[in-house]
Amino acid sequence: MKLTILGCHSATPRINTNPTAQVLEIKNHLFLIDCGEGTQVELRRNKLKFNRIKHIFISHLHGDHYFGLIGLISTFRLLTRETELHIYAPKGLKELVTLQMKLANSWTNYQLIFHELTSNESELIFEDDKVEVYTIPLDHRVYTNGFLFKEKPGERKLDMNAVLNEDIDVAYYNKLKQGFDVENNQGILIKNETVTKDPTKPKSYAFCSDTAYNEDLVHIIKGASALYHESTFLDKHEKLAKPTKHSTAKQAASIAKQAEVGKLILGHYSTRYDNLNDFELEAKTVFENVELAKDGKTFKF
Amino acid sequence: MKLTILGCHSATPRINTNPTAQVLEIKNHLFLIDCGEGTQVELRRNKLKFNRIKHIFISHLHGDHYFGLIGLISTFRLLTRETELHIYAPKGLKELVTLQMKLANSWTNYQLIFHELTSNESELIFEDDKVEVYTIPLDHRVYTNGFLFKEKPGERKLDMNAVLNEDIDVAYYNKLKQGFDVENNQGILIKNETVTKDPTKPKSYAFCSDTAYNEDLVHIIKGASALYHESTFLDKHEKLAKPTKHSTAKQAASIAKQAEVGKLILGHYSTRYDNLNDFELEAKTVFENVELAKDGKTFKF
């Protein structure tokens, strides 16, 4: 899994900082998560191929999370895209995009499929044979979801020494990988676990922005390989976090700790702070494995 | 008058080129003309003060001319703007902006006043004591207006030698500037034209983008100090210009020549061309005073 941060700052696009957008490469997918103004330029800057994006996930309809979307949809059209595009977003976005296309009298030549989200429960919104995506209901000023991207468990791994020792025919290898017991060449039933090993632990990535401190999401993201959690404020401004339904770095770390995630990535910094290292220092007082998101930075996990 | 080009390329924002947006400084106004994606970042880059913008003129509702507007409106709110903002744009934009604010549950704390344009005739849409702005109906795939920004004639200038010679009381100087004949200290009527000079010729700027070649606009922009006219294509691609309702550099120059403007500024280049100098060379075969728009370039006239 590779995560590229296209933008990780709150509120407004500036000369050197972009609003929220990131790309997750997982099992040959290129998932775009949020799409602030300027996202298409950042995709170019990071040499991410436009036509590999087939699924876009929008957390909520505040501008710094989606004002780049209609431009991207429009650019796809100009690039004569034919592949269908799926957009997972709060209800309302379809009406908006449709109105914009109507006013421009410019309709996409590719299929644009909206998956409008309305549920307040975590739900499965995408699935193929290798990946699942779930919503993570968040607590913000408007209807907002985070997203949990999960690899499905892979096949069991053959312990080749044991397999050869037990004299199992090659025709049964696939059944073994799928977890079945099989008979060997002597007709003896071989227990699967004696000749295979557990598959690599499936990885998962949780994106949680924007949200107030919200322990309800801990059970959904439990054990995620990595968690991106917004930290708009430092602890000294906690009184601003509450009414605006944002989090502090300390609160983000507390969620990471309770959810026992592998790594915490902080982002969505308020423009009031010059020194972002304070976010990392503060979070590390609660949870050890913390990294700061930065526009253009990539994370592998 | 000072014109700052924030973006002058067609279609999509790219790493080093921006879609249409420009700022005209005229008689202490800072008029924003079109507002493609990325405009607010370009305003910052060009150190143009956000709170000096009180009037925004949108030519048409194709994305490369207005996708940066909602973000700018939203940023004004975050900057706690209180000054009212006037937006002159085709009908439909108000509905769109209102829907976006509704979905975000974020309403401006300043007054947002839409002047929705629907007329197919040139009309006066803004006027104060020093400036007038008229629409210029253009011929494009959707309803589109250019804009003509005109200084009003200033006061007559006193010929101080003549004024002193004629022994006119200082109390009458303002009447002279306003064009009246006055009596001198000896009670003799002094003809205005014998003691004053014509005011500086008022300047005007015409913005025409996007449009097919359209001679109907010649009489509206006649004698303008400067004309920005789109030139999406070179003459060799004229067959593309027609169905897309765009112009070639040669056609833009032909309009400039017929309208006897002071200077022609070309822009809205298609991304297919690497060498923009060809636009200038081509236009100069028809009209001499041609300059190329370039993002970040300023023109004074």
For residue A105, give the chain B residue with the closest CA. B142
pLDDT value for A263: 98
Please list, in sequence order, all residues whose beta carbon lies within 8 angstroms of the beta carbon of residue B104, skipping any fewer than 6 positions away. A61, A62, A63, A142, B74
For A78-82, what is the mean pLDDT? Answer: 94
- Confidence (pLDDT) at A227: 98
Output the DSSP codes for A113-161.
Answer: EEEEE--SS--EEEE-SSEEEEEEE--SSS--EEEEEEEPP-PPEE-HH
- The rounded percent of chain A whose pLDDT value lies above 90 is 98
Chain B nearest-CA residue for A19: B71
Model confidence at A212, pLDDT cuts 50, 70, 90, reads: very high
Q: Is A62 flagged in the annotation as binding?
A: yes
Tokens of B58: 């949108």
Mean pLDDT of the region A57-74: 97
Asked whether the beta carbons of residue A63 and residue B44 sit closer than 8 angstroms, the reply is no
Closest by Cα among B232, B198, B219, B209 to B261: B219
Mutation for B interface: A10, A12, A245, most B CBs within 10 A: A12
- Those residues of chain B that have pLDDT short of 70 are none
Query: Binding site for Zn(2+): which residues of B?
Result: 60, 62, 64-65, 140, 210, 268
Check CB contact of B38 with chain A, cutoff 8 Å. Answer: yes
pLDDT confidence of residue A88: 98
Query: Residue A124: what pLDDT?
Result: 98
Sign of CA dihedral B245, B247, B251, B257: positive
**Which CATH architecture describes the domain B2-154+200-300?**
4-Layer Sandwich (3.60)
Position A175 scores a pLDDT of: 96
Bridging pattern class, strands A2-7 and A298-300? antiparallel
Q: For chain B, how big is the Rg over CA atoms in Å?
A: 22
**Predicted pLDDT at B178:** 94
Task: Calculate the CA A138 to chain-centre distance.
Answer: 14
Mean pLDDT of A276-284: 98
Give the residue range(s) of CATH 3.60.15.10 domains in chain A.
2-154+200-300
- Residue A185 — very low, low, confident or very high, per pLDDT cuts 50/70/90? very high
